[in-house]
């Protein structure tokens, strides 16, 4: 069993104890309308409101956490869904690092309709983990027809403004990944040449394949280069190859976050 599997088991094992301690719904979900864009897509957002002090997780939740998962299959006229993740915070959870959001999560979504002449109806579920003193899994449903005539929504605009910088915006001049086989998987050393994002920077590496898991990287800075070292293993213990172009590196700093898509050999 991998370290991430152990952490997940501990979280789910706490669910029974948590149920008796929670008064009322810990998490509530609603869909926000942002109207239709000039290119014909719909702008909306999934908003999860948590009780005070509770938190939920980013798409890469760290050593302890459950990444949110969506099921859109009951929706109508949805051709494509693009999610913008606001820059998350880093938490210490019983000595483990987790990455996510406290009190509220607003996820902007851009929907491309399958048929531009018909309305878009979102119906489905969101599975997520939520934590305070204990952690519990939640499944929240949504059922909402998007309003094409809705005006600018300040809550959606604020969430979009909190997205990480792109590599170009953050003046990243190079991102290189060296790969070395290990007894369990592959060691990855990412070297990113970029100005500081502020304070003690934390890098998060996503392998780009849901069957692979990357350990919490050790992050350091050598002048203008950020170095992040992690080990990638398969959830099934099988041999695998890493596609460098699919690797995603997010640098979380005190001033801003940076989203880097892909890295070259080196």
Residue 203, pLDDT score: 97
Check if the beta carbon of residue 103 is closer than 8 Å to that of residue 27.
no
CB 249 within 8 A of CB 190: yes
Domains of the chain: 3-161 (2.60.40.1250), 165-265 (2.60.40)
pTM confidence score: 0.87
Neighbours of 113 (CB within 10 A): 20
Would you state the pLDDT for residue 5? 40
> For the residues of 108-152, what is the DSSP string, one character each?
EEEEEESSTTS--EEEEEEEEEEESSSEEEEEEEEEEE--TT---
Task: Specify the pLDDT at position 266.
Answer: 79
The alpha carbon of 72 is separated from its chain's Cα centroid by a whole number of angstroms, namely: 17
Strand, coil or helix: 204: strand
pLDDT tens digit at each of 266 positions of the chain? 333 443 443 444 433 333 435 566 899 999 999 999 999 999 999 999 999 999 999 999 988 788 999 999 999 999 999 999 999 999 987 778 899 999 999 999 999 999 999 999 999 999 999 999 888 999 999 999 999 999 999 999 999 999 999 999 999 999 999 999 999 999 999 999 999 999 999 999 999 999 999 999 999 999 999 999 999 999 898 899 999 999 999 999 999 999 999 999 97
pLDDT value of residue 22: 55
Q: How many other C-beta atoms can be found within 10 angstroms of the C-beta atom of residue 155?
A: 14
Q: Would you give the DSSP letter of residue 21?
A: T
Residue 182 dihedral angles phi and psi, to the nearest 5°? -125, 180
Strand bridging mode 257-261 / 165-166 = parallel
């Amino acid at each position: 069993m991998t370290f991430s599997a152990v952490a997940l088991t501990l979280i789910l094992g706490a669910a029974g104890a948590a149920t008796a301690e929670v008064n009322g719904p810990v998490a509530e979900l609603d869909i926000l309308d942002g109207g239709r864009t000039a290119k014909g897509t719909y702008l909306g957002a999934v908003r999860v409101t948590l009780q005070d002090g509770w938190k939920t997780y980013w798409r890469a939740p760290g050593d302890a956490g459950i990444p949110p998962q969506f099921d859109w299959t009951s929706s109508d006229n949805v051709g494509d869904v693009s999610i913008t993740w606001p820059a998350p915070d880093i938490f210490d959870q019983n000595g483990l690092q987790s990455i996510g959001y406290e009190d509220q999560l607003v996820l902007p979504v851009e929907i491309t309709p399958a048929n531009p002449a018909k309305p878009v109806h979102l119906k489905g579920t969101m599975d997520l983990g939520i934590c305070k003193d204990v952690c519990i899994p939640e499944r929240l449903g949504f059922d909402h027809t998007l309003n094409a005539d809705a005006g600018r929504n300040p809550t959606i605009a604020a969430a979009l403004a909190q997205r990480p910088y792109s590599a170009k915006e953050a003046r990243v001049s190079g991102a290189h990944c060296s790969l070395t086989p290990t007894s369990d998987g592959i060691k990855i050393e990412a070297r990113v040449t970029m100005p500081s994002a502020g304070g003690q920077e934390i890098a998060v590496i996503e392998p780009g394949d849901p069957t692979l898991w990357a350990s919490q990287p050790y992050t350091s800075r050598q002048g203008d280069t950020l170095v992040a070292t992690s080990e990638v293993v398969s959830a099934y213990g099988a041999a695998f190859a890493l596609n460098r172009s699919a690797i995603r590196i997010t640098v979380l700093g005190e001033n801003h976050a940076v989203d880097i898509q892909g890295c070259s050999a080196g």
